Amino acid sequence: MKSRVIKALAIVSVFTAALAPAGAQAEWLRADTKHFILYSDGREAELTKFAVEAEKFDSLLRSWFKVGEHEDAIRLPVFIMKDSETVSKLRGVEKGALGGFYQALPEGAYALSNRAKPVSKFSGTGQQILFHEYTHHFFTRYVSGSYPTWLFEGFAEYFSTTTFDKDDSYTVGNIANSRAYGLTAGQNLPIERILTDGLTGLNRQQTDVYYGRSWLLTHHLMSDAAGRAQLSEYVKAFNSGTPPREAAESTFGPFEKLDQDLVALTRKGMVAFSSKEPIGYDPTVRITPLDTVDSELLELHINRIVQFQPDETLSKLRALAAIAPDRVGVLAELARAELETARKAGSAEATAIAVAAAEGTADKVLALDPDNVSAAMTKGLAILEHDDGNPSDEDVAAARKMFVKANNADPEEPRPLYEYFRSYAQYSGRPPDIAIQGLEAAFTKAPEIVDYRVALAFAYANLGRFDEAMSLVRYLAYHPHMAEHGKRLIEQLEKMREQREEFEKRLADAEEEESED
């Protein structure tokens, strides 16, 4: 009996190893902290250090921007890959061109970085990449208002080079060596262009200069009390609706003079801010080794959310489910992948087959774990794909029940609230107040997710609350990677406002004529 067990385990081990992507050797570790869930297939000591530094960094940002703790805040998953080549392959870009990135999907936000040692002092480290991306995440979730592209990236670059000493004291504003080439040898990009426009239309070299000079200006302004006061005045003007050019010129003075000051700054060097006071943070890190199946599952989960070889990922998930048929996590991930395949099936018949598969797998999960949020969500979303995305009223009602089930199982999960609202907005006309309140709660929990933000903006617009709607999408109009989308949304909202005002005017005129009669 003992030899059979050993052989069975050996077969499973060999089979799952064959399923793994090229380069995947070690089993993964999970590190749980107060604000993060980190995963790595590297050494435990390395992961622990990553986790501790991340917690220190969160505390640093909270201290600088006076952000308190939020009860039941959603922790950020962080996937630490072997090196930039692995990251680049996942993203489908040039080998070694990408060291990490951040995404905020409807199912949740995540960051992806790497643990390789930098090849030179001009290469960013995995920790710097994580700090950069987490600054974006932190600002979007906790810091109110909108920020122009240069400052959004400038803050991320400025804080990314933060270092902590053994006594937990810290230094902020260290030189961003990875931007050295762009600042010294890259194509010239006047500060006027940076302060008045975003990244659209720039080539790769110009983009590097944009990031570098944004960091340089941010560093310059953050280096003393007078500069920070200027920056605060600028942000206030920007958020009051002052056009970017006017806000910049009225605060920073002539662009030509500012350009000269920044050039001089690159020559004489900059001073970082060091604090001898230790940063307070929660040092608790709980390390959990993942077994072979869960390690393979994690890799396939990463592949799915970054959309790396989706067909192959689905095949591997099915193979993994065949050898681990009672693993709820495996089946839940498979159901999600099957549903995503259904949406890209290409024909009504293929879609129907894939939707049925996703529903069937979700049902298996719910039979094993009736309160599984992922499976309830997948089943509800699959029901809405009936008849090639044209569900009946009965289907929509059934889908809503699944979203309510998911919400009851985990009231802190925002997506069930969002999908409940969307089931009305997309299929049943005007959503009831309870659905709008649910959407507001979802956005409050995860304002970094663009889908929630846009849905809430148009919900407000439909209620005539256009100023609130504009405030929500204005953030996108200056986002480094969504500016064009944000501008189109503003145009749509402006058109809705005009139509509503015209309708209300005609209605008032009609009522006045009726009263005169």
- pLDDT, residue 82, reads 95
- pLDDT, residue 308, reads 87
Amino acid at 416: P
- pLDDT, residue 73, reads 84
Distances (CA, A) of 355 to 101, 233, 351, 352, 401: 31, 53, 6, 5, 18
pTM of the model as a whole: 0.90
Strands 170-172 and 163-164, by their bridges, are antiparallel
Cα–Cα distance measured from residue 61 to residue 132, given in angstroms and rounded to the nearest whole number: 12
Would you give per-residue pLDDT tens digits along the chain (517 residues)? 333 332 333 333 333 333 444 344 469 999 999 999 999 999 999 999 999 999 999 999 999 999 998 877 899 999 999 999 999 999 988 887 899 999 999 999 999 999 998 876 777 899 999 999 999 999 999 998 889 999 999 999 999 999 999 999 999 999 888 777 777 766 678 999 999 999 988 988 888 899 989 999 999 999 889 999 999 999 999 999 899 999 999 999 999 999 998 888 888 777 888 998 999 999 999 999 999 999 999 999 999 999 888 999 999 999 999 999 999 999 999 999 999 998 888 788 999 999 999 999 999 999 999 999 999 999 999 999 999 889 999 999 999 999 999 999 999 999 999 999 999 999 988 899 999 999 999 999 999 999 999 999 999 999 999 999 999 999 999 998 898 999 999 999 999 999 999 988 888 878 777 776 6
Select from 205, 201, 191 the least CA-distant residue to 244.
Answer: 191
Which residue is listed with tokens 């006309």? 429
- pLDDT, residue 185, reads 64
* Complete domains list, the chain, with CATH: 427-517 (1.25.40)
400: which 2 tokens?
A: 């809503």
Distances (CA, A) of 322 to 297, 368, 370: 13, 16, 21
| Coil vs helix vs strand at 162 | coil
Cα–Cα distance measured from residue 430 to residue 424, given in angstroms and rounded to the nearest whole number: 7
Select from 109, 215, 113 the least CA-distant residue to 159.
Answer: 215
- pLDDT, residue 514, reads 74
Angle between helices 292-305 and 328-342 (to 10 degrees): 20
